[in-house]
Structure 1
Amino acid sequence: MTLADILASLFPEGHGVTVADGLVTGHGPLDGRTLHVVGIDGDTPLGVDGALTLSAAVLDVMRAADKAPILVAIDSDSQRMSRRDELLGLNECLAHLAKALLLADRSGHPTIGLIYGHSAAGAFIATALATRVLAALPGANPSVMDLPSVARVTKLPLEKLQQMAKSTPVFAPGLDNMVAAGAVHVVLDPERPLHAQILGLIADLPSHDVRDRLGQERGGRPVARDIAARVAGQARAG
């Protein structure tokens, strides 16, 4: 689905969502309340300017104090890999965006990610993975790091990593692996109105991050939940 298709299915009565330079901002009516929308469209890389623009949009929603939910719609490239962006502190700007989304969620604005295209690396982490739950549409292609990049970092042969990825979803790219690892909460049905599906997600939002539990139940991260619990327990005891 394109962003236009998504918005039409999500807001059958019309909306005020716009796209400028690949950045998505605006809102629309959802069952008698407002649903705010921010995001990235068109496989656009996320740089300093985009991260600050989206952060400002999220903070503006919080200032409205309407406790309305925020949908983060994502079809992006990775972070913008330019000398300018790096010198201006891209890592800090991406962290600022992630923290703005986390703060909004904890301040009463439920956050739902929706990945419908590509996303990778810092752009994926600072947007889609910074929401309380992440939904996806079929055909989405998320990754934290593609396998050629993993090969360069780990110095392992690409062929070996490709073989490992068949049985180790936790670092392998692609929608199925992200579902197995618990990063993607649910895959939506494009044949049904997104209006009702997003409403259902909001109504059934978990009270906290459950990605570790989903990853354990789905077999993509079988030990991460137990290890995290042990670390937390030792920290509280120590």
Structure 2
Amino acid sequence: MSTDWKTLAASLFPDGHTVVEQDDFLTGTAQLDGDAVTVIGTTGHAAIGVEIALLQAQAILATVRQHPQRSIVILIDTQGQRLRHRDEMLGINSYMAHLAKCIDLARRRQHKIVGLVYDQALSGGFITSGLMADGCYALPEATIRVMGLAAMARITKVPEARLTELAKSNPVFAPGAVNYLQMGGVEAIWQADLAQQLVQALHQSSPQDRRSAAGLQRGGRSLAWTVTQAVIDHAGPP
């Protein structure tokens, strides 16, 4: 059973918050371990169109301008980018890239950023939010995938039955929080005291990308870190 955002916010921020929802967009401020944090996110399996992408980017930039180095928490429940002709013609890819750049800017300005998948995270809506954070976490019931096996079969021309079989032993092909934990995309799966785990995640937050190394250590991605290091070694110092 999925967790609704109000219940989640109460668990994450027992000292109080002002998070509100409008048209599936979440925004507000919360008190955590004696400090104020900015909260943004989505709910209702939001399809990320140009409007929500801009609203999230605006909230990030406002925090950078008005509250230097304030921590940012991103609550994630999205079905991915909105698949409409209107959004495509407006250049939804550019809007989502803008959101990703704003999060990257905040990280470079020393804002600690933590993402939490509390319901579902799909496709570009996840790539430009949770996967741009310093660390991304998930609740046990979260659904995470970039592409469903049926769609993957259509794109790769590999029979869906074969992909289903591969998914049993290879997390790259399989959706779910546990598989993304194995691949390093998710840092940890949270249970019990969510507020304390969020505090710990922010304290441990680092701008260094450790996902490839984590994927290798956990057995979910055997080559990503090795290939990355080979490229770095070949390129040499800047």
Q: TM tier, shorter chain? A: over 0.9
Q: Work out the number of aligned pairs and report it.
A: 236
Aligned equivalent of 1:103: 105
Aligned equivalent of 1:168: 170
How far the C-alpha of 1:113 sits from its partner, in A, is 0.4
50-59 or 227-236: bigger deviation: 227-236
Aligned equivalent of 2:51: 49
Equivalent pair of 2:39/2:73 in contact (CA under 8 Å): yes
Question: 1:24-43 alignment to 2 at 5 Å?
Answer: 24-43=26-45
Q: What SS does the corresponding residue of 1:196 show, helix, strand or coil?
A: helix
Partner Cα distance (1:208, 1:237) in 2: 18
Structure 2 unmatched runs, 5+: none
How far the C-alpha of 1:207 sits from its partner, in A, is 4.4
Q: What SS does the corresponding residue of 2:41 show, helix, strand or coil?
A: strand
Aligned equivalent of 2:210: 210
One-letter code aligned to 1:100: C
Alignment RMSD (CA, Å): 1.3
Aligned equivalent of 1:129: 131
Q: What SS does the corresponding residue of 1:112 show, helix, strand or coil?
A: strand
Question: 1:63-212 alignment to 2 at 5 Å?
Answer: 63-189=65-191, 191-192=192-193, 194-212=194-212
125-134 or 203-212: bigger deviation: 203-212
The TM-score, its normalising length taken from structure 1, stands at 0.95
Partner Cα distance (1:129, 1:171) in 2: 18
Q: What SS does the corresponding residue of 2:172 show, helix, strand or coil?
A: coil
203-212 or 41-50: bigger deviation: 203-212
Equivalent pair of 1:72/1:111 in contact (CA under 8 Å): yes
Equivalent pair of 1:35/1:69 in contact (CA under 8 Å): yes
In the TM superposition, what whole-angstrom CA distance separates every residue of 1:66-95 from its partner, at most 9, and x where no partner exists? 311101100111210000000000011111
Partner Cα distance (1:207, 1:21) in 2: 31
How far the C-alpha of 1:136 sits from its partner, in A, is 0.6
Partner Cα distance (2:173, 2:234) in 1: 27
Equivalent pair of 1:36/1:69 in contact (CA under 8 Å): yes
How far the C-alpha of 1:180 sits from its partner, in A, is 0.6
Structure 1 unmatched runs, 5+: none
One-letter code aligned to 2:20: T
